[in-house]
Amino acid sequence: MTIKQILLAVPLLGLGWVCILLGVSLMTDAAPAYVVLLPSAEFVDQLDPDMSILAVGPISITLAADSPRVAARLYSAGARVVLPAGLPGCLPAPVIPNEIGD
């Protein structure tokens, strides 16, 4: 691969990954929480009462709710980008033994 190909492939890979995450957040309710990127100043005031704010950062808010279609409801409240948070991924969690000799 040449440097030009790498410089083209890396951003396209990142864009594809973000598109998959956007699709997962809209099509499933599998995520235990959601990250809203670049929320507006009025965004928190427009949240439904069943949504809980878990963390607030300079460019994001992490939220959770037990009800369905959370990502769609976040978009209707004014979110710009909603990504799933807390999904386990494809690999199983590693097994850590309790003590040596078990």
Question: Using one digit for the tens of pLDDT, what is the confidence trace for 28-42?
Answer: 988 899 999 999 889
Q: Report if residue 99 sits inside a domain.
A: no
Q: Report if residue 47 sits inside a domain.
A: yes
- The letter for the amino acid at 17 is W
Q: For the chain, give the longest Cα–Cα distance.
A: 56
Q: Report if residue 60 sits inside a domain.
A: yes
What is the overall mean pLDDT for the chain? Answer: 89
Q: Report if residue 17 sits inside a domain.
A: yes
| Residue ranges of E strands in 1-102 | 33-37, 52-56, 60-64, 81-85
Q: How many domains does the chain have?
A: 1
For residue 8, what are the domain limits? 3-85
Question: Using one digit for the tens of pLDDT, what is the confidence trace for 41-74?
Answer: 899 999 999 999 999 999 999 999 988 999 999 9
